[in-house]
Structure 1
């Protein structure tokens, strides 16, 4: 119960504050969109930049933690896709979007604040290692799968497909922030102190703004129909993903407790808003994606609580 009160509740109170502010009309949809754009396009990319630029690659970029997390992510995505396609008989493009729900957890907006509140700022090194390849790799896979599904019979060349994937991924501000962090880390470039001070100021705004904006955005995602397939996608994200990450990390690789916490807690996060943005970008399975994000975020209060009890 203490973990619920001290760790989880403050994060979800900020989300709830944004939700209520929009529900009561204290802020407009336009303002919520601007807050999210500030967070996702400016503040959060700088947070990723700072975390990756300062990451000790030798100590934290550890293959077993990445394998544990991403084996769970790919399993969740595959479960979502196969269930949508063969159990619920959805169109191929719908199935890809529903698979993306199980694939893309909210590792950033929920994973970082939950981990930091539970275990301290020093525990975030493993999170940043996971996030450093999260958006580029998973967006690349999702876009590739969707473009292949859409191009059946359209004669899209392999080069054209690769160009479309690269253009979509490299325009993402989060990917640009990650790439800049890698550049500074690997090159050893020393940035002036005023630059780091400015980055730190932006970092302090990133998570509160993103959580408040997330609350406002979630108001739009009203659950409507398709409850069986939504439950399927949410199960893939909230249950299957962290179970595989924990099982592989603990029993397969024998990860130290800090790495096991980062892999498991990050995997236990609800489907990210990016799952809806991905579906909306292609105009498929939008209702399933939106409702999965909303319901998964609510249920994750309980599932995260369980994992914090397992990993005290």
Structure 2
């Protein structure tokens, strides 16, 4: 019970504060969009830059950890895609967006603060090991699959479709933050020493990232209240909150991962779909209601599912 009140509840109280603020009309939609834009386009990329720049890439890269997490993610995508096509009878582009909702867990805005509160700041090295390739890999996969689906019947070469997908990924602020952090990491390994004032500024901006993003997430969730599509929403919640962490837990256990690795792996896998899942659907104008409603309902349900996993993990 202490995990619920001491670890999970504080994170969701910040989200709830943002939700109530918008519900009571104390902030406009434009203001919430501005806060989220600051968080996602500036503060969170700087947080990722800071984490990746100072990450020991050799010591904190474990292929079994990454395989356990991303196998669960891609199996969840496949399950969501297949169920959307054959059970829900949705068009292919809708089904891809629904599969992406099942695929893209909120590894950063919820996974990092919950892991930190549960196991301490030192536990985050494995979270950031997963996050380092999370957005680049999953956005590249999702955009590529969608672009090929949309290119059916048009005379577009494979190279042109791949180039459009790569361009979309490289313009994503989170990916820019990760790649910049990787470049800085390599420069530091080569002997570059940045002034202390530089890292102080990076730390200041990084410290604003999570609370600001969580607060804005609450405001965004208020806007996208659930409407219909309950079978599709239930499918996405089941895949992201149950199937993904169960597969990650099973594969991680078989791989002999350490206790610290298992904690970061399963907690990250058990996160609800993030706002980025809705943004992906919004970019292509498909399954937006399903994505938005799943983000809201999945985030609420994750209070219980994360509590379950925190009690299962050692």
Partner deviation per Cα, 1:56-95 (whole Å, 9 max, x = no partner): 1122111111001001110111111110011111000000
Output aligned runs, 1:16-35, within 5 Å: 16-35=16-35
Q: Who is 2:267 aligned against? A: 265
Q: Who is 1:15 aligned against? A: 15
Q: Indicate whether 1:229 and 2:232 are aligned.
A: yes
Partner deviation per Cα, 1:22-51 (whole Å, 9 max, x = no partner): 000011100100000000000000100111
Q: Who is 1:192 aligned against? A: 195
- In the alignment, structure 1 segments of 5+ residues that lack a partner are none
CA distance in structure 2 between the partners assigned to 1:35 and 1:281 by the alignment: 20
Q: Who is 1:104 aligned against? A: 104
Output aligned runs, 1:106-255, within 5 Å: 106-188=106-188, 189-250=192-253, 252-255=254-257
CA distance in structure 1 between the partners assigned to 2:193 and 2:41 by the alignment: 24
Select the residue among 270, 277, 283 that pairs with 1:281: 283
Q: CA deviation at 1:221?
A: 1.5
Q: CA deviation at 1:187?
A: 2.5
Q: Secondary structure at the match of 1:48?
A: helix
Q: Who is 2:2 aligned against? A: 2
Moved over 3 A (4+): none
Partner deviation per Cα, 1:218-239 (whole Å, 9 max, x = no partner): 0111111110111011100000
CA distance in structure 1 between the partners assigned to 2:130 and 2:199 by the alignment: 23
- In the alignment, structure 2 segments of 5+ residues that lack a partner are none
Q: CA deviation at 1:190?
A: 2.2
Q: Secondary structure at the match of 2:26?
A: coil
Q: CA deviation at 1:216?
A: 0.1
Q: Who is 1:310 aligned against? A: 312
Q: CA deviation at 1:311?
A: 1.5
Q: Who is 1:294 aligned against? A: 296
CA distance in structure 2 between the partners assigned to 1:223 and 1:79 by the alignment: 22
Q: Secondary structure at the match of 1:27?
A: coil
CA distance in structure 2 between the partners assigned to 1:259 and 1:227 by the alignment: 35
CA distance in structure 1 between the partners assigned to 2:275 and 2:79 by the alignment: 19
RMSD between superposed Cα atoms in Å: 0.7
CA distance in structure 1 between the partners assigned to 2:194 and 2:309 by the alignment: 38
Task: Judge which range, 185-194 or 49-58, deviates more.
Answer: 185-194
Task: Judge which range, 182-191 or 161-170, deviates more.
Answer: 182-191
CA distance in structure 1 between the partners assigned to 2:39 and 2:100 by the alignment: 22
User: Number of residues paired by the alignment?
Assistant: 311
Q: Secondary structure at the match of 2:208?
A: helix
TM-score, normalised with respect to structure 2: 0.98
Partner deviation per Cα, 1:235-267 (whole Å, 9 max, x = no partner): 0000000000110001x2010000111110000
CA distance in structure 2 between the partners assigned to 1:155 and 1:24 by the alignment: 51
Partner deviation per Cα, 1:173-200 (whole Å, 9 max, x = no partner): 1101100111111232322110000000
Q: CA deviation at 1:163?
A: 1.4
Q: Who is 1:49 aligned against? A: 49
TM-score, normalised with respect to structure 1: 0.98
Output aligned runs, 1:90-101, within 5 Å: 90-101=90-101
